[in-house]
Amino acid sequence: MCDNCGAAVSRSDFKELEPVLKKYAGIEGSLISILQKAQDIYGYLSLETINYISARMGITPAKIYGVATFYTQFRLEPIGEYLIMLCQGTACHVNGAALIEEAITDHLGIADGETTEDNKFTLNNVACLGCCSLAPVMMVKGPEGEETFGNLTKESVVKALDGIRARG
C-alpha cells in the first residue's frame, strides 16, 4: 500500500517514478505498465502525475487520461487506507454478494467506488477474486498486506470491518 495515499503528489515525489520512466523509455506499448507502477507508488493517478508522465514520455495527457479511464484497474481519486475488493463474480453473485454489498454500504456509508469520510475504507466491486469456493468473498488490501474473507454473511462482514477499523 502506498505511504501517501490520499495526499497530493508534489513534483519532488516523482523521484520514485523516475526509475520506472527510465526503464520504459522508448519502449512502444509501455504506457499501461507505467501507469500501473505509478498507481502502485502513489495509490492513484493524479492529474499532476498524468501530466508528469506526459512530459517525460512524450505522450499527450489526453492519451494517458483515455487509457486511465478506459481500464477499470486505474483510479483517478485517492483511496482509503483499506481497499475493500468485493467479488461480484457468478459464484459470489448467486451466494449473496448483493446482500454483502448492502451490508458494507449500510455500515460504512459508502457505495462502490467511494471512500469513507475518514479515508479509512474504499469499496471497489471487482469481477472475480478467484476464490469461488469461499463465495461470497472480499479481499481487503491495507498496510499489513491483503486479507481474504470468505463465506461472508451480513453479520460477518460487519464484524470483519469493525475488526479492521479497531487496528488503529
What's the rounded Cα separation, in Å, for the pair 56 and 107? 43
CA distance 56 to 160: 43
The pLDDT of residue 5 is: 43
Ranges of beta strands (E only) in 54-127 are: 82-87, 121-126
The pLDDT value given to residue 4:
43
pLDDT at 43: 87
- Within 10 Å of residue 23's Cβ, how many Cβ atoms? 12
For each of the chain's 168 residues, which pLDDT tens digit applies?
444 444 444 455 899 999 999 999 989 999 999 999 999 999 899 999 999 999 999 999 999 999 999 998 899 999 999 999 999 999 999 999 999 999 999 999 999 999 999 999 999 999 999 999 999 999 999 999 999 999 999 999 999 999 999 987
pTM: 0.75
Q: What is the structure's pLDDT at 12?
A: 57
